[in-house]
């Protein structure tokens, strides 16, 4: 009898929610739509008719016919050669800006991946009816570093014409970068803020100090790290575990540790890096004068600016670019600093976030501890994207930077490339390429024009089965896709030998 009572008590929990009784198919479709990174226009139309359409979206582009002969145009010419407007036959594909997702964009230089990244940023940061509906814009951060030191800046800066944009750069290279970014703003008829990246002392904690100190080849722990860890542990005990890092106490511990010359040399380089980007008094220098060790007090460079605690606190609809291009800063140090900046941005920004890596191959290609740590930070953000309210976009020429990033992203946009080695990586990690004629697919990629890509997105809502009231997903298919034009200025131009530029 008791078992029957228990059985009856469970019945209400097992029945469909009364709010959706008789409409469970629509409820299931709504849940599916909510998690779809891309939504085809017919899906939006059907869901709107049932009162459960997408809340926030931006047009991203349109699907293209595989055969060029099948492609259609908006204009037809009649017998009198007059242009006649017909019903639009380009079906928009919408980017879901409301739910978290992650995207991996790859392709050769000039193939359109930075353009695609900029269109994604437009859709997520702007509320403009020309591209969609976005009542709760995100806050964005873009990481950029030009390994070639060739004068290239982050193309996302061209969004400054319609989006409030701030650029954080190295204090030792602020002059040249300010000039380049202000030139972009002038071309856009807008303003852009360029500041030195000055971390506040309160941004330092045990984990971040260990991160900066442990730079080196992955698996090869620097000789001084055991001493550094011991000092940090003792400091934590003295503070009873309270996260209140004191740089002077840390230096005193190092000074009393009796480090050998072989240990102190590399450690000094790491401390120099820390002092170059953190608003703290530099350590005193010990030099020999007339054969006697003499301590010389040092002062912070008067050209350095004062740090702000809320440096990375970002409002909805704003963009922060961290560009650490600098001949004095190597890729390894850049990754360590990006890692710290990302952690602070996530902790200080309370609204939804979009995190983007521009030209990631310039700083994510090396096998070192800093790159590994930054990769882990990104993977954590992707895995916890729903808890952090984050969207992660990685734009790179080389899909090989870390295949775990490729595995976890729910969107992959493959732009034109001519490398068989790159394709070999893609076919191992994209389910839609299993069992495909790989030579045929590779030829498709090689023939792609600028702005075109092959879009892989298993959870994309591509159609509706109206008989069952269910959304059709892309699953293990893919499509040829054309990214829309930008509504902000386009900076993706190539410089020719005669000095002219072409898009």
Summarised one tens digit per residue, pLDDT across range 392-406 is 999 999 888 889 999
Q: Is the pLDDT of residue 66 over 70?
A: yes
Q: What is the mean pLDDT of residues 375-403?
A: 93
Percent of the chain with pLDDT over 90: 66
- pLDDT (0 to 100) of residue 41: 96
Q: What is the mean pLDDT of residues 88-105?
A: 93
Split at pLDDT 50, 70, 90, the class of 146 is very high
- pLDDT (0 to 100) of residue 441: 96
Cα distances from 203 to residues 310, 343, 346, 356, 397, in angstroms, run 10, 10, 13, 22, 32
Backbone angles phi, psi at 502, to 5 degrees: -130, 150
Average pLDDT, the chain: 88
Helices (H) and strands (E) in the chain, counts: 16, 22
Q: Is the pLDDT of residue 390 over 70?
A: yes
DSSP assignment string, 452-496: EEEEE-TT-EEEEETTTTEEEE-TT--EEEEEPPPSS-----EEP
Q: Does 3.40.50.10490 match the CATH number of domain 34-198+308-493?
A: no
Summarised one tens digit per residue, pLDDT across range 4-54 is 788 888 888 887 666 545 456 777 888 889 999 999 999 999 999 988 999
Q: What angle do CA 280, 283, 288 make, to 5 degrees?
A: 160
Split at pLDDT 50, 70, 90, the class of 292 is confident
Interhelix angle 331-348/206-213, nearest 10 degrees:
170
Cα distances from 95 to residues 182, 279, 356, 495, in angstroms, run 30, 40, 16, 31
Q: Is the pLDDT of residue 174 over 50?
A: yes
Summarised one tens digit per residue, pLDDT across range 148-169 is 877 789 999 999 999 999 999 9
- pLDDT (0 to 100) of residue 415: 98
Summarised one tens digit per residue, pLDDT across range 444-461 is 999 999 999 999 999 999
Summarised one tens digit per residue, pLDDT across range 405-432 is 999 999 999 999 999 999 999 999 999 9
Asked which of 77-91, 167-181, 312-326 is least confident by mean pLDDT, the reply is 77-91
Spell out where 307-365 has E strands.
318-323, 353-357
Q: Is the pLDDT of residue 67 over 90?
A: no
- pLDDT (0 to 100) of residue 500: 45
Split at pLDDT 50, 70, 90, the class of 81 is very low
Q: Is the pLDDT of residue 494 over 60?
A: no
Asked which of 278-292, 355-369, 389-403 is least confident by mean pLDDT, the reply is 278-292
DSSP assignment letter at 283: P
- pLDDT (0 to 100) of residue 132: 96
Percent of the chain with pLDDT over 70: 89
- pLDDT (0 to 100) of residue 497: 44
Summarised one tens digit per residue, pLDDT across range 176-235 is 999 999 999 999 999 999 999 999 999 999 999 988 887 766 666 788 889 999 999 999
- pLDDT (0 to 100) of residue 318: 98
How do the domains of the chain map onto residue ranges?
A: 34-198+308-493, 201-285
How many angstroms separate the CA atoms of 56 and 61, rounded? 16
């Amino acid at each position: 009898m008791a078992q029957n009572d228990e059985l009856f008590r469970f019945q209400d929990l097992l029945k469909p929610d009364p709010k959706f009784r008789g409409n469970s198919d629509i409820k299931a479709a709504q849940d599916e739509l909510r998690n779809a990174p891309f939504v085809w226009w017919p899906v939006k139309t059907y869901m709107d008719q049932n009162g459960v359409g997408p809340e926030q979206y931006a047009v991203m582009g349109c699907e293209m016919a595989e055969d060029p002969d099948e492609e259609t145009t908006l204009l037809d010419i009649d017998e009198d050669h007059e242009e006649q407007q017909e019903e639009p036959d380009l079906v928009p594909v919408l980017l879901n800006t409301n739910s978290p997702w992650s995207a991996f964009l790859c392709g050769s230089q000039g193939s359109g991946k930075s353009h695609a990244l900029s269109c994604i940023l437009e859709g997520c940061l702007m509320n403009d009816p020309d591209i969609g509906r976005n009542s709760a814009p995100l806050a964005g951060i873009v990481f950029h570093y030009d390994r070639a030191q060739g004068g290239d800046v982050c193309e996302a800066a061209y969004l400054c014409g319609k989006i409030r944009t701030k650029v954080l750069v190295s204090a030792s290279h602020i002059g040249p970068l300010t000039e380049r970014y202000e030139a972009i703003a002038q071309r856009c008829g807008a303003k852009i803020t360029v500041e030195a990246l000055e971390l506040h002392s309160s941004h330092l904690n045990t984990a971040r100090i260990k991160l900066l100190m442990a730079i080196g080849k992955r698996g090869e722990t620097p000789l001084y790290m055991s001493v550094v860890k011991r000092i940090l542990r003792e400091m934590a005990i003295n503070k009873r575990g309270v996260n209140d890092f004191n740089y002077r106490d840390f230096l005193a511990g190092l000074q009393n540790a009796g480090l050998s010359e072989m240990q102190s040399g590399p450690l000094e380089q790491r401390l120099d890096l820390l002092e170059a980007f953190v608003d703290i008094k530099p350590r005193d220098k010990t030099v020999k004068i007339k054969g006697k060790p003499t301590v010389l007090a040092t002062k912070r460079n008067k050209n350095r600016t004062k740090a702000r605690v809320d440096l990375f606190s970002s409002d909805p609809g704003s963009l922060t670019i961290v560009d650490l291009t600098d001949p004095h800063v190597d890729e390894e140090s850049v990754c360590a600093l990006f890692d710290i900046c990302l952690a602070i941005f996530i902790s200080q920004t309370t609204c939804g976030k979009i995190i983007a890596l521009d030209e990631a191959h310039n700083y994510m290609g090396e096998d070192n501890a800093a790159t590994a740590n930054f990769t882990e930070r990104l993977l954590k953000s992707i895995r916890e994207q729903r808890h952090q309210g984050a969207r992660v976009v990685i734009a790179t020429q080389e899909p090989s930077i870390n295949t775990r990033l490729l595995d976890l992203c729910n969107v992959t946009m493959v732009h034109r490339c001519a490398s068989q080695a790159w394709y070999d990586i893609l076919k191992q990690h994209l389910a839609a390429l299993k069992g495909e004629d790989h030579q045929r697919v590779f030829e498709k990629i090689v023939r792609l024009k600028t702005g075109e890509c092959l879009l892989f997105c298993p959870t994309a809502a591509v159609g509706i089965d109206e008989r069952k009231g269910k959304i059709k997903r892309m699953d293990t298919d893919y499509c040829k896709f054309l990214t829309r034009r930008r509504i902000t200025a386009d900076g993706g131009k190539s410089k020719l030998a005669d000095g002219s530029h072409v898009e």
